């Protein structure tokens, strides 16, 4: 696998030279980008290019571990295995939650192929259990990868920075991946990790955390997953965490917002306008063949039962007989725990910090998510409602903070740019604030804050007129081109 990736990099040498010439002859895609940033975004963008069609699902999923990160000397890491009993407990909750959507869900999620959930605890090297436990704080961090690639290790670098700055321990897990483990497998494993933190086994090496001491964090698909997890916990009536932080979140699997197909993002973001972000598209794969068989069976069953109402826009039924996503069939893209941006109401959630780059492809869904959470009544989506008028969650989420980083691309927080340093500092402040307020049972009054962060890291007021097209967009939840 390593040799394959090296060869693919060598093939991109002409692209590197052409990018250098373009940078100095015509200038960078964004005014403040230096050559390093221009090359980073351009080369990363080839990830979804045609040469990668040769990668099977299995190869894509196994390639991540070769990219390792050395843990710094001031940080320590413990490997954790969450016992299977926590997944069983979580599964009982999730089964109840997703029962109305069973016709579009592959039941294979109920039979995991491994017993334990692997993860890591990242913390200061001097941390010990004798610390004042009431002052302890922890972040449950969920990685990205379009629900079909990635693992907890890809977030190690960033999690070390976040732990160092915030003083919190970071717990990152490797949840099950699609298509072998489709929705709601990832949601189930994430809930299991939350239950584990609140009631760990005696040999875990730490005491139980109160929900008020826990913050959820995640990026890309993981950024959407933490919002879905918050919705699931809210709807199940379980204790909510102190807050949720979502970097570059993928919260709309229908790809319905304008920025997804904005051609300007072709130059400024490495994410391609590829439905479902199905980067591994080699069909000579056992996982792919199993996926096609199982998803085909679900689609035929849906067609045989037209009387069963499925939540979502009619366009989801007209996409075609092949699933655009490895995570769920097309008719399931509107499930609120799949596409949380489209949830009936985003009220009743704990404090939210939603972060995106101004020139990234997922920008508009991050913006719309924040505005819908801050004012559920104003930003209703009738096609995605069951009974909004009688919903317990019509009131705005009590605190929503939206931060848009100027000239920044998808998952910029993994870079070494000033914007990445700023977002770590601001997220750390958020973690401390929401945990302190939750422990003191002294929540702030409902408030919605929006900020623009410049390339140099200056915090400015956000100009709402610049996103009028997003706030007035009437095709949210409508699959484009159908």
Q: How far apart are CA 281 and CA 277, in angstroms?
A: 10
Q: Is the pLDDT of residue 5 over 80?
A: no
- The answer to whether the beta carbons of residues 280 and 56 sit under 8 Å apart is yes
pLDDT tens-digit series, residues 103-147 = 999 999 999 887 899 999 999 999 887 777 888 999 999 999 999
Half-sphere exposure of 401 (CA within 13 A, CB side): 25
CA distance 41 to 52: 17
What was the pLDDT predicted at 51?
A: 47
Which residues, other chains included, contact 266 with Cβ-Cβ below 8 Å and sequence gap of 6+? 272, 273
Task: Dump pLDDT digits (tens) for 418-454.
Answer: 999 999 999 999 999 999 999 988 766 789 999 999 9
How high is the pLDDT of residue 453? 97
The mean per-residue pLDDT over the stretch 183-200 comes to 98
Mean pLDDT computed over every residue of the chain: 92
Whether 49 shows a pLDDT value over 60: the answer reads no
DSSP state of 407: T
Which residues of the chain form CATH 3.40.50.1820?
Answer: 75-258+337-475
| 75-258+337-475 CATH | 3.40.50.1820
Strands 138-142 and 214-219 turn out to be parallel
* Per-residue pLDDT, 367: 98
Exposure string of 431-470, with b = 16+ CB inside 10 Å and e = fewer, is bbbbbebbeeeeeeeeebebebbbbebeeeebeeeebeeb
Is the pTM above the cut of 0.85?
Answer: yes
Q: Is the pLDDT reported for residue 297 higher than 80?
A: yes
Beta bridge partners of 171: 121, 140
SS3 313: coil
């Amino acid at each position: 696998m390593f040799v394959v990736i090296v060869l693919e990099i060598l093939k991109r040498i002409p692209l590197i030279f052409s990018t250098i010439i373009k940078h100095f002859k015509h200038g960078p895609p964004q005014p403040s980008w230096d050559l390093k940033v221009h090359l980073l975004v351009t080369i990363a963008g080839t990830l979804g290019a045609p040469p990668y069609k040769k990668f099977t699902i299995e190869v894509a999923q196994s390639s991540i571990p070769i990219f390792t990160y050395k843990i710094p000397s001031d940080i320590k890491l413990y490997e954790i295995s969450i016992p299977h009993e926590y997944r069983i407990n979580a599964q009982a909750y999730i089964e109840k939650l997703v029962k109305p959507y069973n016709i579009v869900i592959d039941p294979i999620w109920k039979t995991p192929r491994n017993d334990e959930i692997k993860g890591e605890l990242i913390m200061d090297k001097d941390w010990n259990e004798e610390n004042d436990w009431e002052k302890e704080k922890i972040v449950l961090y969920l990685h990205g990868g379009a629900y079909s690639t990635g693992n907890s290790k890809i977030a190690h670098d960033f999690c070390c920075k976040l732990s160092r700055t915030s003083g919190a321990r970071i717990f990152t897990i490797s949840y099950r991946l699609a298509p072998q483990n489709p929705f709601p497998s990832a949601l189930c494993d994430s809930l299991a990790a939350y239950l584990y933190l609140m009631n760990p086994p005696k040999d875990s090496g730490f005491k139980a955390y109160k929900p008020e001491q826990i913050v959820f964090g995640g990026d890309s698909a993981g950024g959407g997953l933490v919002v879905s997890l918050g919705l699931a916990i809210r709807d199940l009536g379980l204790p909510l965490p102190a807050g949720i932080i979502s970097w570059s979140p993928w919260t709309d699997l229908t790809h319905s917002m304008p920025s997804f197909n904005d051609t300007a993002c072709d130059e400024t973001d490495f994410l391609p306008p590829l439905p479902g972000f199905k980067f591994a598209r080699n069909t000579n794969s056992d996982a792919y063949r199993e996926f096609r068989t199982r998803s085909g069976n679900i689609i035929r069953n849906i067609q045989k039962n037209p009387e069963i109402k499925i939540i979502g826009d009619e366009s989801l039924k007209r996409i075609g007989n092949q699933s655009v996503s490895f995570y769920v069939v097309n008719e399931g893209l509107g499930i609120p725990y799949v596409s949380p941006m489209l949830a009936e109401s985003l009220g009743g959630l704990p404090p939210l910090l939603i972060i995106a780059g101004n020139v990234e492809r997922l920008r508009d869904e991050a913006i719309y998510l924040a505005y819908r959470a801050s004012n559920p009544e104003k930003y209703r989506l009738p096609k995605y409602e069951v009974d909004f008028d009688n919903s317990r969650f019509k009131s705005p989420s009590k605190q929503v903070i939206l931060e848009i980083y100027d000239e920044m691309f998808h998952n910029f927080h993994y870079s070494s740019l000033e914007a990445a340093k700023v977002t770590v500092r601001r997220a750390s402040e958020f973690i401390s604030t929401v945990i302190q307020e939750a422990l003191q049972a002294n929540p702030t009054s409902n408030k919605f804050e929006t900020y623009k962060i410049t390339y140099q890291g200056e915090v400015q007021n956000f100009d709402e007129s610049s996103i009028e097209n997003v706030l007035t967009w009437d095709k949210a939840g409508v699959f484009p081109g159908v």
